[in-house]
């Protein structure tokens, strides 16, 4: 149990950035560039509190050692159930809290220089903090409803931040695309939540797990609900087939890309699957789907990244690919490895984006083919990017190696040979595309004047990069497997473990670290780096010749397998067609009806106007006739005559109106 | 005194017998109808007012007749008739004033020529 003070500290983790958001949103115009100090103060305190939560859950703080759990009733429906708001922090959530706060802090430090002089500087920081707060709230959520609220907030923030430079049409379009594509997933997630709530009467994760175990929900309905939840994760984590928004989201400022890709937004999808893992393991179909979607996405995005000219897009596709790895890991039951990769990925992916941002800051270009020779001009950025690249490629002993190898190895050991093949091929592609980008940007001779004039970024940008570079090397060392031969405990695997229930259901056997598989994946990665060197650094004309020779394939990859064209020709076109039809219905049918009544009244008035002759005697005649008619009707006492008369007059009015 | 012939006797009796309600109503209706016809077809505003008077008196006749034939009403119809006469007088006063004003401005009392209220 925790004391009230401890509960307050935990609540403050997401509340502080939210508070900073409010302050900056209200007083941003006054604070201007000082907004960054407020923001950094807030997120630093959050980071300290997150570390406290981590130590508490790990049992290092006295009284800890167990998951932190408390909640308050939020909406009480009496018999109908209730929706509490609460906190649940186990090892997984604690690690995520620290990662999110840390990466957010690094990015906010960095943004101070990168965004300097921006028109909406304070607003940018306000959004960064709302983004962080939403993600932290999502991580803490113990039930689907709370998770969904923050889930949507994360989506909103990504929309606002990707569209930060909304004066550019492409940024506007990208923001809308990000919002709409993820909305497809969100809608599916919400349907899944409704199914769970309708069948189990609860939205809390543990209640649903128990209800599913007890058989309250099962069979195809259960599988459907789980798959719907997974579609939500697919949308958020940019997995096939909803991956198309992420590369376009590169239109946002580079620090935003770093935040989206490393800690917030896309990590939410993987986190959702991990959080609801006990639900997922009860549906083998869903698990298999998770694994194959992940494996395929990893491979597909890897190929797309091979030919991109835009440095940010290379890294963006790399994220899609790495998220595929995480999904693959979760899907085949290697929970710890999947989360471990999420954790390591946060550091080196944030670093990659900050390096890209540093280059963009120095030479104001995204195009790899306008760079070149930046190694001597920007040494810190170069070495940071090489470290991040090695970590991403999974080279021993960088952080990425430990988690990536764990996923690849368990795919082999669990006998998913197809997935293993995809994974090992992706290792090769990953190493190739990231070092292609590095060689293009940093080696050789400068290709443009911009590259010639580039200088190293200021210390406030390189500082966070160096810190992240440090973590890109060592973050993996907390999870060195027992079988590796080093006298270090596998802290990560002890800390972030699937529940006993999940372990039993999946019936996993522990596998010792396989030196052969580790060596294989490193060898493949080195092969990728070697090929990149051979094609781009040693003799740069080789790559161009290759691209011309296989121009069809090159275009196919460059266009992202024509997914955008496919969706444009089918879904977008259908949606536009539907829009046109409904607009037409509105304009012609409904508008015609409304306008017809109006014109009818006008026309009838025009006709009746002629009766208003001004002659006293004609008025007298009308009065007498009316009295006569009323007398007849009242005398006949036939109410239907009145009705018929009114109907005839109305029809006549509309008919007249339509004719006019 | 010579005996009165039976036919004359019958006639005298018929004269002294209280006429039926319908008689009054028919006369009232005729008065109203003549007045209405005149109000609709005559052009002279003064004549129209006279016709309106006819209509009012037709209605008054029916009121008085009903008052006489419905004793339970306690003579309410008669008091209505008095009310109607008073209002008719007021109406004529206002109406003739309007006619005079129209005549002064237009030199005519022909209602067909007074159509300034045309819509």
Minimum mean pLDDT among A319-323, A352-356, A479-483, B3-7: which range?
A479-483
Task: Check: pTM over 0.80? Answer yes or no.
Answer: no
pLDDT tens across A461-475, in order?
A: 888 888 888 888 888
Which residues of A are less than 8 Å from B112 in CB distance?
Answer: 615, 617
Closest residue to B40, CB basis, from A609, A612, A621: A621
**Between chains, do A617 and B117 touch, taking CB under 8 Å as contact?**
no
Q: Is A617 within 8 Å of B119 when comparing Cβ atoms?
A: no
Chain B CB contacts of A620 below 8 Å: 39-40
Residues of A in contact with B36 (CB under 8 A): 624
Cβ distance A616 to B48 less than 8 Å, yes or no, reads yes
CB-CB under 8 Å, B118 with A613: yes
**pLDDT exceeds 70 at position A302:** yes
- Say if A624 is an interface residue toward chain B (CB within 8 Å): yes
DSSP class of residue A76 equals E
What average pLDDT does range A485-508 have in this prediction? 75
Cβ atoms within 10 Å, residue A545 = 10
CA dist A400 → A394, A411, A443 (Å): 5, 17, 24
Contact B117 A624 (CB under 8 A): no
- Cβ proximity of A394 and A517 under 8 Å: no
First to last CA, chain A: 79
CB contact under 8 A, A614 and B119: yes
Query: Which residues are CB-neighbours of B82 under 8 A, at least 6 positions away?
Result: none
Q: What is the pLDDT of residue B88?
A: 92
Provide residues of B within 8 Å CB-CB of chain A. 36, 39-41, 48, 111-112, 114-119
**Distances in Å between the alpha carbon of A522 and those of A430, A481, A527, A613?**
12, 16, 8, 101
Give the mutation candidate from A616, A620, A628, A631 for the B interface (greatest B CB count, under 10 A).
A616
* Mean pLDDT for all residues in chain B: 86
Task: State the residue for tokens 């999940």.
Answer: A502
Q: What is the pLDDT of residues A326-346, one digit of tens each?
A: 888 888 888 888 888 888 888
Average of per-residue pLDDT across A288-313 = 87
CB distance from A607 to chain B under 8 Å?
A: no
Cβ contact (<8 Å) for A616 and B114? yes
Closest A-chain CA to B118: A614
CA distances from A105 to A8, A73, A184 (A): 21, 32, 31
What's the number of CA atoms in the CB half-sphere (13 Å) around residue A16? 21
Task: Name every chain B residue with its beta carbon within 8 A of the beta carbon of A614.
Answer: 114-119
> Which of residues B4 and A341 earns the better pLDDT score?
A341
Residue of chain B with shortest Cα separation from A618: B40
Partner residue opposite A617 with nearest CB, options B40, B116, B119: B40
Lowest mean pLDDT among A53-62, A544-553, A616-625: A544-553
Q: Is A627 on the interface with B (CB under 8 A)?
A: no
Among candidates B112, B114, B119 on the partner chain, residue whose Cβ is nearest the Cβ of A612: B119
| Percentage above 90 pLDDT, chain A | 4
Size of interface A-B (CB pairs under 8 A): 31
Nearest CA-CA partner of A539 in A551, A550, A531: A531
Nearest-Cα residue of chain B relative to residue A614? B118
Q: Name the β-bridge partners of A75.
A: A83
Among B36, B39, B115, the residue with its CB nearest the CB of A615 is B115
* Average pLDDT over chain A, rounded to an integer: 83
Q: Could you read off the pLDDT of A566-621 as tens digits, one per residue?
A: 888 888 888 889 999 999 998 888 888 888 899 999 998 888 887 777 777 778 87
* Shortest distance, CA B40 to any CA of chain A (angstroms): 5
Predicted confidence (pLDDT) at residue A557 exceeds the cutoff of 90: no
Q: How far is CA A116 from CA A29, A350, A460, A462, A463, in A?
A: 15, 20, 12, 15, 16
Name which of B41, B111, B119 is nearest A616 (Cβ-Cβ): B111
- What's A133-150 look like in SS3? HHHHHHHHCCEHHHHHHH
Q: Which residues of B touch A604 (CB under 8 A)?
A: none
């Amino acid at each position: 149990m925790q004391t009230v003070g401890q509960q307050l500290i935990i609540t403050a983790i997401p509340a502080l950035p939210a508070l900073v958001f409010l302050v900056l949103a209200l007083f941003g115009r006054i604070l201007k560039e000082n907004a960054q100090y407020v923001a950094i103060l807030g997120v630093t305190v959050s980071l300290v509190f997150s570390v406290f939560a981590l130590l508490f859950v790990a049992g290092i703080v006295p009284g800890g050692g167990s998951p932190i759990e408390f909640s308050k009733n939020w909406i009480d429906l009496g018999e109908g159930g209730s929706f509490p708001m609460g906190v649940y922090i186990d090892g997984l959530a604690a690690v995520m809290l620290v990662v999110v706060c840390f990466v957010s802090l690094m990015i906010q430090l960095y943004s101070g220089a990168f965004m300097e002089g921006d028109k909406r500087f304070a607003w940018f920081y306000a959004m960064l903090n709302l983004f962080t707060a939403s993600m932290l709230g999502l991580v803490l959520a113990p039930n689907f409803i709370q998770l969904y609220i923050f889930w949507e907030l994360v989506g909103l923030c990504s929309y606002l931040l990707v569209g930060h430079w909304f004066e550019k049409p492409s940024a506007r379009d990208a923001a809308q695309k990000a919002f709409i594509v993820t909305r497809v997933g969100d809608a599916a997630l919400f349907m899944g939540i409704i199914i769970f709530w309708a069948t189990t009467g609860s939205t809390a994760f543990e209640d649903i797990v128990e209800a599913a175990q007890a058989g309250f929900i099962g069979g195809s309905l259960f599988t459907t609900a789980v798959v719907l939840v997974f579609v939500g994760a697919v949308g958020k984590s940019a997995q096939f087939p909803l991956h198309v928004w992420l590369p376009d989201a590169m239109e946002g400022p580079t620090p935003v890309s770093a935040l989206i890709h490393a800690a917030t937004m896309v990590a939410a999808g993987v986190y959702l699957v991990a959080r609801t893992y006990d639900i997922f393991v009860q549906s083998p179909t869903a698990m298999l789907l998770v694994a194959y979607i992940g494996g395929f996405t990893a491979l597909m995005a890897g190929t797309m990244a091979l030919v991109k000219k835009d440095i940010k897009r290379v890294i963006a596709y790399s994220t899609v690919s790495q998220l595929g790895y995480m999904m693959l890991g979760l899907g085949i039951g290697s929970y710890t490895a999947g989360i471990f990769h999420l954790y390591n990925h946060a550091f080196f992916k944030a670093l990659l984006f900050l390096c890209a941002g540093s280059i963009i800051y120095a030479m104001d270009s995204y195009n790899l083919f306008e760079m070149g020779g930046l190694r001597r001009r920007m040494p810190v950025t170069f070495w940071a990017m090489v470290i991040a690249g090695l970590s991403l490629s999974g080279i021993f002993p960088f952080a990425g190696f430990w988690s990536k190898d764990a996923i690849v190895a368990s795919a082999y050991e669990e006998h998913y040979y197809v997935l293993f093949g995809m994974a090992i091929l992706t290792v090769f592609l990953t190493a190739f595309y990231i070092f292609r980008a590095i060689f293009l940007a940093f080696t050789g001779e400068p290709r443009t004047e911009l590259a010639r004039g580039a200088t190293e970024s200021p210390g406030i940008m390189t500082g966070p990069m160096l810190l992240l570079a440090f973590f890109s090397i060592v973050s993996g060392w907390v999870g060195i497997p027992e079988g590796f031969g080093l006298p270090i405990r596998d802290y990560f695997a002890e800390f972030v473990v699937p529940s006993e229930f999940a372990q039993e259901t999946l019936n996993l056997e522990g596998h010792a670290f396989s030196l052969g598989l580790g060596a294989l994946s490193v060898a493949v990665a080195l092969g990728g780096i070697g090929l990149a060197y051979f094609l781009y650094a040693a003799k740069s004309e080789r790559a161009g010749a290759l691209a011309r020779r296989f121009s069809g394939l090159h275009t196919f990859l460059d266009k992202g397998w024509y997914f955008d064209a496919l969706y444009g020709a089918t879904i977008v076109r259908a949606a536009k067609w539907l829009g046109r039809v409904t607009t037409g219905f509105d304009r012609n049918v409904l508008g015609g009806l409304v306008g017809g009544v109006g014109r009818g009244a006008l026309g009838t008035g025009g006709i009746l106007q002629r009766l208003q002759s001004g002659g006293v005697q004609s008025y007298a005649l009308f009065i007498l006739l009316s009295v006569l008619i009323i007398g007849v009707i009242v005398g006949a006492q036939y109410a239907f005559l009145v009705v018929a008369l009114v109907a005839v007059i109305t029809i006549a009015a509309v008919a007249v109106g339509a004719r006019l | 005194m010579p005996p009165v012939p039976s036919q004359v006797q019958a006639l005298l009796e018929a004269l002294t017998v209280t006429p039926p309600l319908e008689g009054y109503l028919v006369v009232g209706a005729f008065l109203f109808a003549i007045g209405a016809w005149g109000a609709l077809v005559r052009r002279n505003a003064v004549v129209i007012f006279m016709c309106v008077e006819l209509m009012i008196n037709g209605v008054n006749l029916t009121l008085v007749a009903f008052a006489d034939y419905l004793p339970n009403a306690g003579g309410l119809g008669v008091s209505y008739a008095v009310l109607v006469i008073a209002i008719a007088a007021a109406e004529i006063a206002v109406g003739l004033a309007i006619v005079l004003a129209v005549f002064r401005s237009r030199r005519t009392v022909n209602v067909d020529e007074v159509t300034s209220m045309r819509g």
